[in-house]
Amino acid sequence: MAHKKNSYQYGIFAENIVAWGLRLRGYKILAKRYKTPVGEIDLIASHKNIIIFIEVKARHNLSTALQALTPHMKKRIIRAAGYFIARHSAFSNYGMRFDLIAIAPPFYWEHLDNAWQVSV
C-alpha cells in the first residue's frame, strides 16, 4: 500500500515539475489532472493556437517512462480530449496534439511533441 501511495505522490510531483517547465517555455497550463467520465488527462496546455493534451510518465529511468504509455491509455486520453473540446468551444479553432513527457530522477525529462496521432 505504501508503494502505491509513494508512486501516486511521485506522479503528482512530476506533473507539477513538468507544468512549471512548460510555463517557462511559454505554454499556458489550462488544466491539471483533468478528470472526465471517459478518462483523465494529466495536463492540458495551449501554445501558439494549439491545444496540447499531455501525458506525464514518471519512472526511475527515461526509457521505462517512454514505454509506459499503452494503446488503451492513448484511447482514453483521446476520448477525454474530445470531452474537453466539446465543453470549451473557445478552443474549437485551435490545432490539437497529444504529447508524452517522460520524467526520471533527479529532473531529467524528454518531451515528445505529437507523440501519437488521432486516427480517423
Model pLDDT, residue 1 = 47
All domains in the chain, ordered by first residue: 2-116 (3.40.1350.10)
Average pLDDT along the chain, 120 residues, taken 10 residues at a time: 69 92 97 95 96 95 92 95 93 93 90 85
Cβ neighbors of 57 (< 8 A, separation 6 or more) are: 65, 66, 68, 69, 100, 101, 102, 103
**What confidence score (pLDDT) does residue 110 get?**
94
Quote the pTM value: 0.91
d(CA 70, CA 73): 5
Distance, in Å, from the CA atom of 110 to the CA atom of 117, rounded to the nearest integer, reads 18
